[in-house]
Amino acid sequence: MFHKEGYKIILITFSIVIGLGLIANTFVENTLIRGGLLIILILFLVLILQFFRNPKRNFVSDETQILSPVDGKVVVIEEVFEKEYFNAKRLQVSVFMSPLNVHVTRYPVGGKVVFSKYHPGKFLVAWHPKSSEENERTTVVVKSPYFGDVLHRQIAGALAKRIVNYANEGQEVNQTDDSGFIKFGSRVDVFLPIDTKINVTLNQTVKGGITALGSK
């Protein structure tokens, strides 16, 4: 199963691979070179298919927990001063996604979207200290009945050139529903209430909509 954001790219990639494959098969006489080119084209197609995959999962909504919005590895757990929305201290948990991870972004909590904003910016590598403030990004805040305001921020990276955000201010959303998609990138920061109990550790692998980042 593939995410809707990948349909166009998958179709274009499939067409290019078929076209180049036919050209190689017709005009490249050396068997080893022709075979190598075909293998490269197939591997490229497989990578694109893997990137846009959207596996079915048995999500269990639990509003007493803040779930990871994405698949990846926890790279930051720290107390920070969040200045875009809260202007106050929050616990930040950041998850880095490699190109091989599922790149669907899901709502970490359910509730009402009270803030949603897109920021154009740079494409620094996702682990750069200033990427969360200078890179292209979107900021979404959901008011949870249990936790209050919870912010998650999609951040583009060196490869990520397109952030898709589905959140509209005023809409009611469910935990684990699709919040967006980052094409070929990269990192999501989650800002939790300062009294949240953190349930993950640095370098831990997490799954979007499954792993609990924090609880009370």
Q: Name 199's Cβ contacts closer than 8 Å, sequence gap at least 6.
A: 65, 212, 213, 214, 215
Residue 64, pLDDT score: 94
Q: Are residues 81 and 165 in the same domain?
A: yes
pLDDT tens for each residue of 2-47: 768 768 888 998 899 899 988 888 888 888 988 889 899 999 888 8
Residue 127, pLDDT score: 54
pLDDT tens for each residue of 53-96: 877 888 888 989 999 999 999 999 999 999 999 999 999 999 99
Q: Are residues 118 and 206 in the same domain?
A: yes
Would 59 be classed as within a structural domain?
Answer: no
Residue 47, pLDDT score: 80
Q: Are residues 44 and 150 in the same domain?
A: no
Q: Are residues 114 and 189 in the same domain?
A: yes
**Structural domains counted in the chain:** 2
Q: Name 151's Cβ contacts closer than 8 Å, sequence gap at least 6.
A: 82, 85, 86, 90, 115, 139, 140, 141, 190, 191
Would 154 be classed as within a structural domain?
Answer: yes
Would 58 be classed as within a structural domain?
Answer: no
Residue 81, pLDDT score: 95
pLDDT above 60: residue 161: no
Would 57 be classed as within a structural domain?
Answer: no
Which structural domain range is residue 18 located in?
A: 4-51
What residues act catalytically? 186
Would 9 be classed as within a structural domain?
Answer: yes
Q: Are residues 82 and 137 in the same domain?
A: yes
pLDDT above 80: residue 154: yes
Whichever domain contains 168, its CATH number is 2.70.70
Q: Are residues 89 and 148 in the same domain?
A: yes
Q: Are residues 42 and 127 in the same domain?
A: no
Would 39 be classed as within a structural domain?
Answer: yes
